[in-house]
Amino acid sequence: MKSFPASIKDGIEFAAELFSKAKRAVVLTGAGISTPSGIPDFRSEGTGLWSRDEPMEVASLNTFRTNPEKFYAWFHPLANQIFEAKPNGAHLALAELESRGHIRSIATQNIDLLHQKAGSKNVIELHGSLATLSCTQCFQQVESTPYLKPFVEKGEIPHCPHCGAVLKPDVILFGEQLPQKAWFNAQRASRECDLMVVAGSSLEVLPVAGLPMQALDRGAHLVIINNSPTYLDVRADSVLQGDVADIIPAIAELVGNG
């Protein structure tokens, strides 16, 4: 196991103990779990996407409808980073814990498919994903790879093969509601879990930030792993401030050895 300060080491051991005892553990992940894979988060000062761009101007549903070229110009470098990214140790460790039966589901705010690439099966995508694109006119849905690859490599904006209209990635933009089925499943998982682990999320974006409260209100344990404080640190059983790509594999190793 990687060397950690004593306080973090104790927290890792306690988190591993909670995982080992849990019957219905749920993990909620945010952008911070994918930054070690080279995908920028949104709110970090100086490096986050929203420190450089105004979200409502580039990543809103209204912008896409009125000026899809502006959206795709902003999205291109991010799509390239997502397209090239590989799962890091945190994604792989969570997939391993799931395969051993220690995790019931992963609810993620990320659109990068890295959990699935790592091998996780039960992933609830709260903000959609890049797996598919949908037509803005005839509403046909297509697999994304044949369209995103030319977009990443040549900047070609994807168009519908049926009617020729612009295709929209099936991700949630500002001004859109969360996918109803995913939101329902995440709420149910939160209410039924006996352990919730928040990994790489600052818990600043509603309504997803309220999911851990639903778990706490029903008596679940809460572990928070994040680089910065969250509003629920005072309610958590264990708060581990550090790199999720180091901490989660260490937890998984102890669970495996236990």
| pLDDT tens-place string over residues 147-164 | 999 999 999 999 999 999
How far is 96 from 17, CA to CA, in rounded Å? 16
CATH number of 45-84+130-171: 3.30.1600.10
Does residue 46 register a pLDDT over 80?
A: no
3-class secondary structure for 94-140?
HHHHHHCCCCCEEEECCCCCHHHHHCCCCEEECCEEEEEEEECCCCC
Q: How confident is the model at residue 54 (pLDDT cuts 50, 70, 90)?
A: low
Q: How confident is the model at residue 59 (pLDDT cuts 50, 70, 90)?
A: confident
Residue 51's pLDDT is 43
Does residue 90 register a pLDDT over 80?
A: yes
Pairing of strands 238-241, 221-226: parallel
Residue 2's pLDDT is 77
Residues with catalytic function:
127
Q: Helix crossing, 6-21 with 244-257: angle to 10°?
A: 50
The residue ranges of every structural domain in the chain are 1-39+87-127+177-258, 45-84+130-171
Residue 58's pLDDT is 74
What share of the chain in percent tops pLDDT 90?
83
CATH 3.40.228.10 fits 1-39+87-127+177-258, yes or no: no
Give the predicted TM-score (pTM) of the model: 0.91
Does residue 98 register a pLDDT over 80?
A: yes
| pLDDT tens-place string over residues 14-39 | 999 999 999 999 999 999 999 999 99
Does residue 44 register a pLDDT over 60?
A: no
